[in-house]
Structure 1
Amino acid sequence: MVGAGVLSLPYAMSELGWGPGVAILVLSWVITLYTLWQMVEMHEMVPGKRFDRYHELGQHAFGEKLGLWIVVPQQLIVEVGVNIVYMVTGGKSLKKFHDTISPHSKVHMTTTEFIAIFACAHLVLSHLPNFNSITVVSFAAAVMSLSYSTIAWTSSLHKGVKPDVDYSLTGSNLGVKTFNFFSALGDVAFAYAGHNVVLEIQATIPSTPENPSKKPMWRGVVVAYIVVALCYFPVALVGYYVFGNSVDDNVLITLEKPAWLIAAANMFVVIHVIGSYQIYAMPVFDMIETLLVKKMNFTPSFRLRFVTRTSYVLLTMVIAMAIPFFGGLLGFFGGFVFAPTTYFLPCVMWLAIYKPRKYSLSWIANWVCIVLGVALMVLAPIGALRTIIMSAKTYKFFG
Structure 2
Amino acid sequence: MDNTKPLIELELDDDGRIRRTGNVWTASIHIITVVVGAGVLSLAWVMAQLGWLAGIASIITFSAVSIFTYNLVADCYRYPDPVTGKRNYTYMQAVKAYLGGTMHVFCGLVQYTKLAGITVGYTITSSTSLVAIRKAICIHKTGDAASCKFLNNPFMIGFGILQLFLSQIPNFHELTWLSTAACITSFGYVFIGSGLCLLVVLSGKGAATSITGTKLPAEDKLLRVFTGLGNIALACTYATVIYDIMDTLKSHPSENKQMKRANVLGVTAMAILFLLCSGLGYAAFGDNTPGNILTGFTEPFWLVALGNGFIVIHMIGAYQVRSFFH
Q: Tell me whether the two structures share a fold, i.e. TM-score over 0.5.
A: yes
Question: TM-score, normalising length from structure 1?
Answer: 0.65
Structure 2 Cα separation of the partners of residues 130 and 217 of structure 1: 27
Deviation of the 1:73 alpha carbon: 1.3
Structure 1 Cα separation of the partners of residues 94 and 194 of structure 2: 38
Higher helix share: 1
| Change in CA separation of 1:23 and 1:131 when aligned onto 2, cut-off 3 Å | farther
What aligned pairs does 1:89-168 form with structure 2 within 5 A after superposition?
Answer: 89-103=125-139, 104=141, 109-130=150-171, 133-160=174-201, 162=205, 164-167=207-210
| Pairwise CA RMSD | 2.4
Structure 1 Cα separation of the partners of residues 271 and 110 of structure 2: 26
Residues 268-326 of structure 1 show CA distances to partners (whole Å, capped at 9, x for unaligned) of 11111111111211145xxxxxxxxxxxxxxxxxxxxxxxxxxxxxxxxxxxxxxxxxx
Greater alpha carbon shift after TM alignment, 132-141 vs 27-36: 132-141
Q: 2:39 is matched with which residue?
A: 5
Deviation of the 1:34 alpha carbon: 1.9
The answer (yes or no) to whether the contact 2:79–2:97 under 8 Å persists in 1 is no
Higher relative contact order (CA 8 A, sep 6+): 2
| Change in CA separation of 1:166 and 1:70 when aligned onto 2, cut-off 3 Å | same
Q: 1:395 is matched with which residue?
A: none
Greater alpha carbon shift after TM alignment, 228-237 vs 25-34: 228-237
Structure with the greater alpha carbon radius of gyration = 2
Match of 2:120, SS state, is: helix
Letter in 2 for 1:7: L
What aligned pairs does 1:1-399 form with structure 2 within 5 A after superposition?
Answer: 1-46=35-80, 47-63=84-100, 65-103=101-139, 104=141, 109-130=150-171, 133-160=174-201, 162=205, 164-167=207-210, 169-170=213-214, 172-203=216-247, 205=248, 207-208=250-251, 210-214=252-256, 217-218=259-260, 220-284=262-326
The answer (yes or no) to whether the contact 1:153–1:234 under 8 Å persists in 2 is yes
Match of 1:102, SS state, is: helix
The answer (yes or no) to whether the contact 2:49–2:224 under 8 Å persists in 1 is yes
Greater alpha carbon shift after TM alignment, 70-79 vs 123-132: 123-132
Fraction of identical pairs, as percent:
27
Deviation of the 1:80 alpha carbon: 1.5
Letter in 2 for 1:169: G
Question: TM-score, normalising length from structure 2?
Answer: 0.78
The answer (yes or no) to whether the contact 1:146–1:231 under 8 Å persists in 2 is no
The answer (yes or no) to whether the contact 1:130–1:282 under 8 Å persists in 2 is no
Structure 1 Cα separation of the partners of residues 245 and 171 of structure 2: 12
